[in-house]
Structure 1
Amino acid sequence: MLIRSAKIADAEQVASVLRRSIQELCVLDHDGEDDTLRQWLSNKTPKIVGSWIEAPDQCVMLAEEDGAILGVGGASHAGEITLNYVAPESRFKGVSKSILASLEAYLRDLGWAQSTLTSTRTAHSFYVAAGYKDAGESEFWGKLLGQPMKKSL
């Protein structure tokens, strides 16, 4: 498995991984509700993903094997992990851990001593196992409940 920076040519496949991960793996969060899914997926298009890849104040990384994208993650220059999604067939194979480690290294290189993120209910135990701690009350993003978290880097 190779972890690398995403390129604009990856945008379509990255958007597909994001959408499939949300639809298939995050059922605890969206409970199959069409309105919630529609809201969550609304910005997971190739065009918008491409804008994230090209943004100068963000880093989008992906895990790849034999040309297939296994997962995708993102971080902002403000010290926040913004994305960490895995293709359903790659779940529990260390993909998210590898992406997270690369994003944390990226943030350390920018000079951040702490990483922040907002976790879904689905990913909360993953982040706790990775050393993140709850940082305040849960927040709603529309109908989705998110838990602010932080970790010393």
Structure 2
Amino acid sequence: MSRAMTRSIAELCAADHADDPEIIAGWTRNKTPQAVAQMLANPQLSLFVAEIEGMVGAVGAIAGPDTVALNYVSPDHRRRGLSRALLAHMEAEMAARGTDLARLTSTRTALEFYRAHGWQDAGPPELGHNVPGYPMTKRLAR
């Protein structure tokens, strides 16, 4: 999981970090195997993995009842529908928990992906990991 998230950030999010090693290091600092173990132990966080050919292809997480906290695809497995399937699963999980309005903060890289899946802009960008994050929301069908 750690490797998939770290590689996704480093290799696929250049539009956000402009290949700046300091920004990449700051952004991936909490994606180590130890940090993933802490995420797995956190009762407020639900982690999901999409596997392909026995490998971690994508990693997602829901924080609390209504927030997509993570949605990273491994560069080795992008454009195979894993991130889309993972997002749909997390949306269904949030709806099953009673969430009407889901939230997430998108990278610049993923903005069009989320918009194509019904997410709407929900305010000005906010700075996180020294890159802008774009708040988005989506009404979930129950």
Which TM bucket (shorter chain)? Answer: over 0.9
In the TM superposition, structure 1's runs of 4+ consecutive aligned residues that sit over 4 Å from their partners are none
Aligned position for 1:94:
81
Pairs within 5 Å for 1:54-133 = 54-133=41-120
Three-state SS of the structure 1 residue aligned to 2:30 is coil
* Counterparts of 1:63 and 1:75, CA distance in 2: 14
| 1:25-72 Cα shifts (integer Å, max 9, x gaps) | 001101011111111011010111111112111110010123211100
Instruction: Give the conservation status (yes or no) of the 8 Å contact 1:62–1:70.
Output: yes
- Cα deviation 1:114-153 (Å, max 9, x = unaligned): 1100000000000000100000111111420110000000
Instruction: Give the alignment's TM-score, normalised by structure 2.
Output: 0.95
Unaligned runs of 5+ in 1: 1-13
Q: Which residue of 2 aligns with 1:46?
A: 33
State the partner residue of 2:130. 143
How far off its partner does 1:102 sit?
Answer: 0.7
Shift of 1:78: 3.7
Correspondence for 1:33: 20
* Percent of matched pairs sharing the same residue: 38
Tell me the distance in 1 between the aligned counterparts of 2:74 and 2:96.
27
Between 14-23 and 46-55, the greater mean CA deviation after superposition: 46-55
Partners in 2 of 1:37 and 1:109 — Cα distance?
35
5+ long unaligned stretches in structure 2: none
Q: Secondary structure at the match of 2:48?
A: strand
Given that 1:77 and 1:107 are in contact with CA atoms closer than 8 Å, whether structure 2 keeps it comes out as no
| CA-based RMSD | 0.9
Q: How many residues align?
A: 140
